[in-house]
Amino acid sequence: MINVGGLFTDIITAVFSHHLPVEKCITIHPFEARVGQQVFSQIPMQEAVEALHQLSLSLAK
């Protein structure tokens, strides 16, 4: 799952807790990105999204 800027909380999910395996998630926040358990700090969201976009383009070939 790729999550860009979203925050999962019980209020947003109508009191239905999410259970997403961290090792299968890419999460991008305003100044941090996470790929599984690995945290990349001080990365602006725009740069992280662009890097993910470029990676997906290269894998699509």
Match 């941090």 to its residue by tokens: 32
pLDDT score for 20: 76
Domain residue limits, the chain = 2-60
CATH topology classification for 2-60 = Rossmann fold (3.40.50)
**Token digits of residue 37:** 């358990």
> Whole-model pTM?
0.71
Q: From CA 8, how far away is CA 58, in angstroms rounded?
A: 30
Give every strand in the sheet of 26-29, ordered side by side.
Answer: 2-4, 26-29, 32-35, 38-41
C-alpha angle 17/22/24, rounded to 5°?
A: 115
pLDDT score for 14: 60
Please list the pLDDT of the chain residue by residue as tens digits (61 residues).
888 988 766 665 565 556 778 898 899 999 999 999 999 999 999 999 999 999 999 999 8
Query: Across the strands, what pairs with 29?
Result: 32
2-4 and 26-29 strand pairing? parallel
pLDDT score for 6: 80
